[in-house]
Amino acid sequence: MNRNFDVIVIGAGSVGVPATMNLAKSGKKVLCIDALSSPGQCNNKKAIGGVRATHSDFGKIKICQRSIDIFSTWHDVYGDDIGWMSNGYCFPAYSKKIESDLLLQLDKQRRCGLNISWIAPDEVQRLVPGIELRDLAGATFSKDDGSCSPLLACNAMYFKSVEMGATYRFNESVIDITFLNNVFCVTSNKDKYFSEFVINAAGNNAREISNKLGFDCPVVPDSHEAAITDPVQRFLGPMVVDLRQEKGSDNFYFYQNHEGQVIFCLTPKPLIYGVDNDATSDFLPLCTTRMLKVLPRLRSLKVRRQWRGQYPMTPDGMPIVGHFENNLANSTNGAIVSNQKFIQAVGMCGQGFMLGPGLGELLNRMIDDELTKDDAIVLNSFDPNRGFINSEAFK
């Protein structure tokens, strides 16, 4: 078996699979390694499916706009139904502070090319029939945002990448990475593989993979829960994101997917660090109570399933994409690591699914040294060497 590749991608998830697909599409010999049994088995399958370009940072906006282009045209281009809906995102303002914060970002978002508008309460009511109008000042609405199935999308990209010539190795854990004579050697629990480039797309394990070459990558997973109802006749348009904070939680959000099921999620307060996947008894009463305050008509829905996954978080809520500036001695063989060829694509902060397709194309351009002017701005936002002192407003 040939063990030599142009690029090795570590992690077959929301970023690793589309990256592998784009690398294979461009003619590169690419290997993707994952410790689990099939693609998307860590946090990708736990994503709720929202895809928004509604962010406060140029980098996230541009990457997610490209992801939306890819998701929304996937059926036309490749023939697979991935459950895409252009249902939009709605951020209601139930306080003066949230109204001010949303309006403050609105001009910046428009300058970045986001198709977003401020809508009055009666228009919010049309989009979300039955929404609580008391104290509602209005909302932002970005109609080009949407949603699709993380399971269908990841599998579609996986099978397409295999058609394009990509190689996958599942049930293989990376136990060592060394660098000698300008070649990386990636050792798994089963074999050794060699390549010129390595992309770290390991999600929860981003820090562990980086440490194998002496780089400290500040990614720490925290746990979030979600749930899904039985399907009902369509009654709800956009994803609704309530930015208010209440005891035990920060923001929460919900929408009706392409099969008619309502999916909902909540950001716990304080955050729960770690990778425990056991669902709790706290989530449902906390989240459903908040949902019924916003949309009382949800009270008759039956919850079918609840689950827990992780957000691989960075200190500022922004992804880490690129390479670390410092060359460090590899502890195994003393060689100096070519850091520009060890590329980070980690710390998606719970947004890997919506960032993944756009990032997959960007990572391929990085390796081909064909970056655009917009790419340079995006990578500046995602720079692994930044100070991590700011905070993304819509993380």
- Cα separation, 128 vs 371, in Å, equals 41
**pLDDT at site 1:** 66
pTM (predicted TM-score) = 0.95
In terms of Cβ atoms closer than 10 Å to its own Cβ (0-12, 13-18, 19+), residue 132 is middle
**pLDDT at site 338:** 57
Half-sphere exposure of 327 (CA within 13 A, CB side): 8
The CATH topology of domain 4-46+151-219+316-381 is: FAD/NAD(P)-binding domain (3.50.50)
CB atoms within 10 A of CB 388: 16
C-alpha angle with apex 324: 190 to 43, nearest 5 degrees? Answer: 50
For residue 257, the 8-state DSSP code is -
**pLDDT at site 395:** 67
**pLDDT at site 390:** 81
Q: Give the mean pLDDT of the chain.
A: 95
**pLDDT at site 335:** 47
**pLDDT at site 393:** 79
- Cα separation, 328 vs 75, in Å, equals 45
Using one digit for the tens of pLDDT, what is the confidence trace for 25-53? 999 999 999 999 999 999 999 999 999 99
Query: Sign of dihedral through CA atoms 232, 148, 286, 284?
Result: positive
**pLDDT at site 337:** 55
C-alpha angle with apex 199: 360 to 10, nearest 5 degrees? Answer: 100
Domain spans in the chain, listed from the N-terminal domain onward: 4-46+151-219+316-381, 86-144+221-312
**pLDDT at site 332:** 47
- pLDDT above 50 for 334: no
Using one digit for the tens of pLDDT, what is the confidence trace for 133-155? 999 999 999 999 999 999 999 99
Instruction: Report whether 218 contacts 246 (CB < 8 A).
Output: no
- Cα separation, 366 vs 63, in Å, equals 14
CATH class of 86-144+221-312: alpha beta
**Residue 169 in 3-state DSSP?**
strand
- Cα separation, 79 vs 72, in Å, equals 12
